[in-house]
Amino acid sequence: MKPEVQPNKIVVLSGAGLSAESGLPTFRDANGLWNNFSLEEVATPQGWAANPEAVLAFYNERRLSAYQAAPNAAHQAIAALDAAYDVVIITQNVDGLHERAGSRNVIHLHGQLAWARGTSPLPKRYRIDAAPVSLGQLCEDGTQLRPNVVWFGEDVQHMDEARQHVASAARVLVVGTSLSVFPAASLVKAARGRAQKVINSLAMKRVPFGFTFLPGKATSIVPALVQTWLEQAR
């Protein structure tokens, strides 16, 4: 059964483009990570099995860059919505910039760089911030530590909860995602017909049904939209 739409609820679904202006490369744009690294080698269980040292080195670099980056005006504007709305952020990003901008309610679909975990089925997780992980560094259960991120071919976290949130939102903002990584991209389909639905990115191959496309950089589009929504809440 579909949940009831909550008039004061906003769901933000974010992707790598939101953090591009914080200096963190996206995956698929001209300067995207996949132009410089092979997805199969650094972001799959097979890549990890073949060369864990290279995978750890890749994520050690990503973790340090994310730690050194700062939230931009779009992250900050999204955080300001908490003052007037019930906001749930569902992010594909692993950089932690939503929390550092002050957002309180963030669901991480693809994990977080600032955490490491063991490689057993029920591993412990450790907050490591910017610290590198090296080969031979073990979890308490004796297994090798790895980045606490979801690789291609692994289960995305919190999908059911995320879908329920999208389905009960009166406003949905999708920002900085090419909607090409599944199942995260399928969440837009859960948005309700009567919800106000907006999508911002530089370009979109196909705008999801019912969404209004606002092309442009997140740091100019998102603060203006948030301003309007905050005025409407008064």
C-beta neighbour count of 215 within 10 angstroms? 12
Candidates 28-36, 47-55, 78-86, 131-139: pick the segment binding ligand NAD (CB under 6 A): 28-36
Spot the catalytic one: 98, 108, 110, 165: 110
Among 170, 217, 223, 230, binds ligand NAD (CB under 6 A): 217
Of 202, 207, 214, 230, the one binding ligand NAD by CB under 6 A:
202
Contact between 24 and ligand NAD per CB under 6 A:
yes
Task: Return the SS3 of 197.
Answer: strand
Q: Which of 10, 11, 13, 27 binds ligand NAD (CB under 6 A)?
A: 27
Task: Give one DSSP letter per residue of 102-150, joined into a string.
Answer: T-S-EEESSEEEEEEE-SSSS--EEE-TT----TT-B-TTSPBPEEEEP
Minimum distance, C-beta of residue 224 to ligand NAD, in the bound complex (Å): 13
**Residue 120, token pair as written in the block:** 């057993």
CB neighbour burial string for 1-33, b if at least 16 within 10 angstroms, e if fewer: eeeeeeeebbbbbbbbbbbbbbebbbbebeeeb
- Here's the x/- map for ligand NAD, 73-112, by CB under 6 A: it reads as -------------------xxxx--------------x--
Q: Could you give the string, one character per residue 148-187, with x where binding to ligand NAD holds by CB under 6 A and - elsewhere? A: ----------------------------xxx-xx------
What one-letter code names the amino acid at 173? L
Residue 131: Cβ within 10 Å count: 15
Q: Token pair 């769901």 is at which residue?
A: 11
Asked if 75 is an active-site residue, the reply is: no
Binding stretches for ligand NAD (CB under 6 A): 15-17, 19-21, 24, 26-29, 32-33, 92-95, 110, 176-178, 180-181, 200-203, 217-218
